[in-house]
């Protein structure tokens, strides 16, 4: 008789976005005349930039001709893309990462979920709280997290690093020593960042205790301040302790097109085993690569025209972020984020819970956001708004919030 992987049964239901969906649908059904504005989703809304569309079209034409047709892509990605990444995202920033340390994939969600496979089930993970749910849930599926306590929303074998207003949303070193440390800066959901010195401290810590940092840099393109690191490899010693995840979703609008990459330096070893070899083996065995046409589109992200158009796209979203942040501040809210990230993290007023504020905002402003408690227990009493809407809707949403 077959048995299932009953780690899956330990997962609490995907409560957050299904509950939001149900509440919004119920509100809309009861109030068909009201225009609901959604500032909850973490998905982009601007179309792909012209330079990317052009690259897609020409790659499609190549696929129509036997002379230029492409079948399976190389396991780890096409050289043209890996070279463009190595040059633009690393070499030009003074980071020592070579093209053959880059693994092209179909996105950072999959990579952040899959990467734990190359580590023993005995490893203990540390995560920020609140956190992007993928890191914890994929470790639950692997059986690495112990038991779930519904009253605290915490797993017995996970090390939580609270990120609240008290530490400026930057985690402190945990009391218990972790084996794997998930860090994401600029952060989803808080929109917070850490300085290069702070990240250097984490790299030094990881090297000292023998931990691996899994660094999610999905929002790197939104960094506007000088002392904020764009890559963990800006830090000395990161080559022996850090894996970096990148995505084309948020900087270039590839959420539906799908492209990302993972960096594993060859100096990152357990004894004399390179993690690079394990991940290469996994890619070769379980993955057949991002499509050629999408990798060509990814190459266009690094062309002069692509860079120019994408910086305008990021600026468009960051203008929304500014509208949200200043609008909320003027209305008397305590807000953070929105400077190096497309997320604004606000303290709920009058000691409301995150869900109470969700209902209040939906009822009185017809605006949808995301309750902070959905990202972890330390998110309780906070609320996330995103800058990924249209400018018109963002302006209107803030006018309504100010009138509440």
Ligand X SMILES: *Cc1c(COP(=O)(O)O)cnc(C)c1O
Report the 10 Å Cβ neighbour count for 255: 18
Residue 216 touching ligand X (CB under 6 A) = yes
> Cα–Cα distance between 371 and 381 in angstroms, integer?
8
Residue 188 touching ligand X (CB under 6 A) = yes
Residue 255 touching ligand X (CB under 6 A) = yes
Residue 200 touching ligand X (CB under 6 A) = no
**Closer to ligand X by Cβ: residue 188 or 231:** 188
**Closer to ligand X by Cβ: residue 155 or 254:** 254
**Closer to ligand X by Cβ: residue 129 or 216:** 216
Which residues between 352 and 381 bind ligand X (CB under 6 A)? none
Cβ contacts of residue 148 below 8 Å, gap of 6+? 10, 12, 140, 154, 155, 156
Contact (CB, 8 A) for 244 and 217: yes
Count of chain residues binding ligand X (CB under 6 A): 15
Cβ contacts of residue 212 below 8 Å, gap of 6+? 119, 179, 180, 181, 206, 241, 242, 243, 268, 275
Contact (CB, 8 A) for 33 and 371: no
Residue 229 touching ligand X (CB under 6 A) = no
Residue 249 touching ligand X (CB under 6 A) = yes
Which residues lie across from 184 on neighbouring strands?
A: 216
Residue 130 touching ligand X (CB under 6 A) = no
Which of 258, 293, 232, 256 shows the shortest CA–CA distance to 101? 232
Residue 386 touching ligand X (CB under 6 A) = no
DSSP 144: -
The residue from 218, 268, 275, 339 that contacts ligand X (CB under 6 A) is 218
Q: Which stretch binds ligand X (CB under 6 A): 5-13, 57-65, 228-236, 242-250?
A: 242-250
The residue from 107, 130, 337, 338 that contacts ligand X (CB under 6 A) is 107
Contact (CB, 8 A) for 378 and 197: no
Residue 132 touching ligand X (CB under 6 A) = yes
Report the 10 Å Cβ neighbour count for 94: 9
Residue nearest to ligand X (CB): 107
**Closer to ligand X by Cβ: residue 94 or 256:** 256
- Residues of the shown chain interacting with ligand X in the complex, contacts defined by CB under 6 A: 42, 107-109, 112, 132, 184, 188, 216, 218, 247, 249-250, 255, 260
């Amino acid at each position: 008789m077959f048995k299932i992987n009953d780690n899956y049964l330990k997962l609490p239901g995907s409560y957050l976005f299904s509950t939001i969906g149900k509440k919004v649908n119920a509100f809309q059904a009861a109030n068909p005349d009201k225009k609901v504005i959604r500032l909850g989703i973490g998905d982009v809304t601007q179309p792909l930039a012209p330079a990317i569309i052009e690259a897609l079209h020409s790659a499609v034409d190549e696929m129509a001709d036997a002379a230029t047709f492409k079948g399976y892509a190389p396991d780890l990605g096409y050289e043209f893309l890996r070279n463009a990444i190595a040059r633009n995202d690393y070499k030009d920033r003074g980071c020592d990462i070579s093209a053959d340390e880059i693994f092209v994939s179909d996105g950072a969600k999959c990579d952040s979920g899959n990467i734990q496979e190359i580590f023993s089930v005995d490893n203990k993970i540390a995560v920020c709280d609140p956190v992007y749910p993928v890191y914890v849930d994929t470790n639950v599926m692997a059986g690495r997290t112990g038991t779930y306590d519904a009253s605290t929303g915490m797993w017995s074998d996970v090390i939580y690093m609270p990120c609240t207003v008290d530490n400026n949303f930057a985690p402190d070193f945990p009391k218990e020593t972790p084996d794997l440390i998930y860090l994401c800066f600029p952060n989803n959901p808080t929109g917070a960042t850490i300085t290069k010195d702070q990240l250097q401290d984490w790299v030094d810590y990881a090297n000292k205790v023998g931990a691996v940092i899994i660094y999610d840099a999905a929002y790197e393109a939104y960094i506007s301040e000088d002392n904020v690191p764009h890559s963990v490899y800006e830090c000395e010693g990161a080559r022996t302790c850090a894996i970096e995840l990148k995505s084309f979703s948020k900087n270039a609008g590839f959420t539906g097109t799908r492209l990302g990459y993972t960096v594993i330096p060859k100096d990152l070893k357990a004894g004399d085993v390179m993690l690079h070899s394990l991940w290469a083996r996994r890619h070769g065995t379980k993955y057949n690569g991002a499509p050629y046409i999408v990798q060509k589109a990814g190459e266009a992200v690094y062309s002069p025209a692509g860079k120019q158009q994408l910086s305008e796209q990021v600026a468009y979203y960051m203008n929304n972020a500014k509208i949200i942040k200043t609008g909320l501040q003027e209305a008397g809210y305590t807000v953070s984020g929105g400077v190096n990230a497309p997320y604004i993290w606000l303290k709920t007023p009058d000691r409301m819970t995150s869900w109470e504020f969700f209902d209040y905002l939906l009822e009185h402003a017809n605006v949808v956001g995301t309750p902070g408690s959905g990202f972890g227990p330390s998110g309780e009493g906070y609320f996330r708004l995103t800058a990924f809407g249209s400018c018109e809707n963002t302006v209107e949403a803030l006018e309504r919030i100010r009138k509440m």
